[in-house]
Structure 1
Amino acid sequence: MPGTTAPGFEPVLDAFEDNFAHHDEIGAAVCVYVNGEKVVDLWGGSASEGRPWTEDTLQVVFSTTKAITAACALHLVDRGLLDLDAPVAAYWPEFGKPDIPVRWLLTHQAGLAALDTPVTPAEAIAWKPVVAALEAQQPLWEPGTESGYHAHTFGWLVGEVVRRVSGRSLGTYLREEITGPLGLDFWIGLPASEYHRAARIISPKIDMSVDPATLPEALRPYFDPTSLTMRASMAVTPFLDHNDPAELAAEFPSSNGAGTARGLAGFYAALLDGRILSPGLLALATTEQVNGVDKVLRVPVRIGLGFGLPTPDMFWHGPTAFGFSGHGGSLGFADPARGLAFGYVMNHGRDPITDKRAENLVRAVLASLC
């Protein structure tokens, strides 16, 4: 496979190659930093039919984007321009709902995970119709009492606050304040000049004909279009297609971040060494704010201020670890205790229950650190 591994990290190369041989990998890249030093940088496979994956291939990472979106809001907090405990309406008056503070947007506690009237992809691309829908939407549960994964709406909620405070769209703010100055190859709203580098997403096949009654109770909401679980995932209807150039160019701060594994791992490495957020704010942002069964996902979660915190059963668990995974298998995370920053991107989406690709890579990294 093209790329490099530092001495002692050869097991990561073995795991990467094994993913192609035995785990249906099609095109992918992985990058790892330890204490600020890049120790793994690998890529391989096919970006699309007839086009090999190269070191600068970009990949949409779905919800892995959310941590980077959160970092934009936290960057404003660090600069004294945004107060986590101020009402959202202090910055966005039309939002109404004066009892919802900014921090509940980051912790998925605002009660706005779904829309009573879903928006169309064209409306999502236009941005303002979604903002108007969120202004009109009443919370679906008492804000602050529980968390429910805001699969789509998180990006517009946080993104509109960033826009109101900074005067710039979230993707512009990210480029001008974080990724541009740090030289990180990661975008929310991909310029047309970069589209030729984007790998084509191969979505996982999901059998929706399953009889929900035959499934474990925790899985049944995923097959019930009236459940909060499905309503949150269908806030944009019909589903978005992030292979569409118009959608790649738009800003969906919950889901259409596009970057290299090097850019993703570099983002977490920059967090660890204080180049994005102050150490004190990063410590606060990665301190547990929520712990319990999520109203949307129906599984136990731990949440910081926009960052996911792993539960003890997760393969990237560590007492200080934080990050975010994405639909289909992508993963970015950091573990300050190990000085570790990790990024994995791929174009073949897999069933999360059976997908072991990221786990194989993380376990190889951790074994190499021993």
Structure 2
Amino acid sequence: MAPGSADHDLPVHGSCDPAFEPLRELLARNLATGSDIGASLAVVRDGETVVDLWGGRARDDQEWQHDTIVQVWSVTKVMAALTTLILADRGEIDLDAPVSSYWTDFRDSRVLVRHLLGHTSGMAGWTETLDMDGLLDLERSEKMLAEQEPWWEPGTVSGYHMICYGHLLDGLVRGATGRTLSEQFRDLVAGPLGADFHLGVPEADLGRCADLVPPPPGGIDFSALPPDNLLLRTLVNPVLDIGGFCNTAPWRRVSIAGANGHGNARSMARIQSVVSHGGEIDGVRLLSPSMVERIFDVQADGTDLVLMVPVRFGTGYALSQPASAPAVPEGRVCWWTGYGGAIVVNDLDRKVTVAYAMNKLDQHFTSSPRTDEYLRTAFGCVEAS
């Protein structure tokens, strides 16, 4: 089956509360037209999973199954951030302390923990040239970050930590606890919640991974950007081969916790509903109410130096900002998205979490028509019911 082509014969599977039937219809339509190749949708509301849908193809020779997982790019960041917030809630990390107080190799004492979480540390990427082998060697690439100078005054403005976000938090968590970020995520988050999300896919689960389909040509005209543009510096050092190496086991097995987490909408919504429900879901409390409120401490609010659009960053999550995310509702809402279109949105006012994960990528950094339509439909169903 050619990338992007429609498959009219594959139905949408799963469960859907009647009030959210428009979401099932939208997913079915997108699969039929080829807007989606394979995808999953989930909504948790008032502690109940009211939408758990999937359909399409994971690969040319395999349908998208109940347990298919897919790389969700930067949605991984909120999984890494949640893990760090849990450790902070337990007193193992102080959000207002210098990173260097835990990570002894980290040179610049001006950089605070919350600067890492809020993309204001000045460490948006690697200054020295880094190849793919170096990126996957976490100790090597983390040490490079620890020893370099920030690209701007820490804490003053955001510059999206596109790929290195997970490396920074892994260095922090490893220094503070003696265990890796992926181990802490597994034991503190995914395990207690029974959630099928992975920072580093285990060997036994590699066969369940959907293959990514690169976005169509277009998007940013990189030739028009000035040579010192920070987006260029973060994207090309190193360049990620979306339809090639990112679909291989060596990439999937390593925890690149800013970019290559694997899960599906069900597991994304399950984990993040902890936030939309005040720190606890199904009797499992991961965060205190006071730590949930720390998410809404604004770390930066303005044009991001890397993304080049206005973004309002709280602690570990983006907050409502119509200019960068027109379909994310206003209010006590925290969210983030992944390159190509995956997204998770936590609405604390309505006690709702919405998640979408797919394998066909769009030209999407913070917003795009396909993802926006899923969000508007989901929250429209919430408002109407």
Q: One fold, TM greater than 0.5?
A: yes
Matched, 1:28 2:39: yes
Moved more, 129-138 or 246-255: 129-138
Q: Matches of 2:110 and 2:238 in 1, distance apart? A: 26
Question: What amino acid does structure 2 have at the position aligned with 1:329?
Answer: G
Matched, 1:260 2:273: no
8 Å contact kept, 1:152–1:235: no
Change (3 A) 1:277 1:63: same
Q: Distance in 2 between matches of 1:355 and 1:102?
A: 31
Q: What amino acid does structure 1 have at the position aligned with 2:311?
A: V
Alignment partners' CA distance in 1, 2:64 and 2:155: 44
Q: For the structure 1 residues 166 and 143, does the alpha-carbon distance in structure 2 shift closer, same or farther, using more than 3 Å as the test?
A: same
Provide the residue aligned with 2:53 in structure 1: 42
Matched, 1:251 2:264: no
Which residue of 1 is the match for residue 234 of structure 2?
A: 232
Summarize deviations over 1:296-346 as a string: whole Å, max 9, x none. Answer: 111100001110113124201221111110001000111011111111100
Asked whether the equivalents of residues 240 and 246 of structure 2 are also in contact (C-alpha less than 8 Å), the reply is no
Q: CA deviation at 1:226?
A: 4.2
Structure 1 length-normalised TM: 0.93
Look up the SS of the partner of 1:117 in the other structure: coil
Shift, 1:209, TM fit: 10
* Structure-2 residue corresponding to 1:137: 148
Shift of 1:208: 8.7
Distance in 2 between residues matched to 1:78 and 1:325, nearest whole Å: 24
Quick one: which of 360, 364, 367 aligns to 2:377? 364
Contact 1:3/1:41, CA 8 A, preserved across alignment: yes
Change beyond 3 A, Cα 1:91–1:197: same
Q: CA deviation at 1:23?
A: 5.6
The amino acid across from 1:367 in the alignment is: G
Determine if contact 2:115/2:121 at 8 Å carries over to the other structure: yes
Single out whichever of 316-325 and 348-357 deviates more from structure 2: 348-357
1:343 and 2:355 equivalent?
yes
Q: Secondary structure at the match of 1:348?
A: coil
Shift of 1:193: 0.4
**2:43 match: secondary structure:** strand
What corresponds to 2:307 in structure 1? 297
Identity score, percent? 33
**Equivalence for 1:123:** 134
The 10-residue stretch of structure 1 (309-318 or 99-108) with the greater mean CA deviation from structure 2: 309-318
The 2-side partners of 1:144 and 1:193 are apart by 41
Secondary structure at the residue paired with 1:20? helix
Counterpart of 2:5 in structure 1 is none
Contact 2:155 2:299 in 1 (8 A): no
The answer to whether the Cα contact below 8 Å between 1:23 and 1:356 also exists between their aligned partners in 2 is no
Aligned partner of 1:172 in structure 2 is 183
Contact 1:316 1:362 in 2 (8 A): yes
Q: Distance in 2 between matches of 1:264 and 1:22?
A: 25
Counterpart residue type for residue 372 of structure 2: E
Find the counterpart in structure 2 of residue 102 from structure 1.
113
For residue 188 of structure 1, give the secondary structure of its aligned residue in structure 2.
coil
Q: How many residues align?
A: 361
CA distance in 2, matches of 1:211, 1:329: 20
Match of 1:318 among 319, 323, 330: 330
Q: Which runs of 5+ in 2 are unaligned?
A: 1-11, 280-284
Offset at 1:90?
0.6
When residues 331 and 76 of structure 1 are mapped into structure 2, their CA distance, relative to the original with a 3 A threshold, is: same
Structure 2 counterpart SS, 1:93: coil
- Cα deviation code 1:231-261 (max 9, x no counterpart): 0122324657321201100010100110021
Q: 1:40 to 1:91 in 2, by over 3 A?
A: same
Cα displacement (A) at 1:78: 0.3
String of CA shifts for 1:133-157, please: whole Å, max 9, x gaps. 1122111111112111110121111
Aligned mates of 1:86, 1:236 — CA distance in 2: 30
Matched, 1:93 2:104: yes
Select the structure with the greater relative contact order (CA < 8 A; seq sep ≥ 6).
Answer: 1
Gaps of 5+ in 1: 213-219
- Match of residue 6 from structure 2: none
Question: What letter is aligned with 1:310?
Answer: S
Distance in 2, Cα, partners of 1:300 & 1:238? 25
Superposed CA offset, 1:94-124 (max 9, x none): 1111111111111111111122213111111
**Partners of 1:367 and 1:96 in 2: how far apart?**
48
The amino acid of 1:183's aligned partner reads G
Answer yes or no: is the 8 Å Cα contact 1:118–1:237 preserved in 2. no
Contact 2:212 2:247 in 1 (8 A): yes
Letter of the aligned partner of 1:332 in structure 2? Answer: V
1:15-62 C-alpha deviation (Å, 9 max, x unpaired): 111222346210000010111111111100000011000111001000
Shift of 1:272: 2.8
Could you say if the C-alpha distance between residues 143 and 346 of structure 1 is closer, same or farther in structure 2, counting changes exceeding 3 Å? same
SS in 2 for 1:9: helix
Amino acid at match of 2:380: A
CA distance in 2, matches of 1:209, 1:291: 23
Q: Is the contact between residue 104 and residue 175 of structure 2 (CA under 8 Å) also seen in structure 1?
A: no
Alignment of 1:270-289 (within 5 A): 270-273=274-277, 274=279, 275-289=285-299
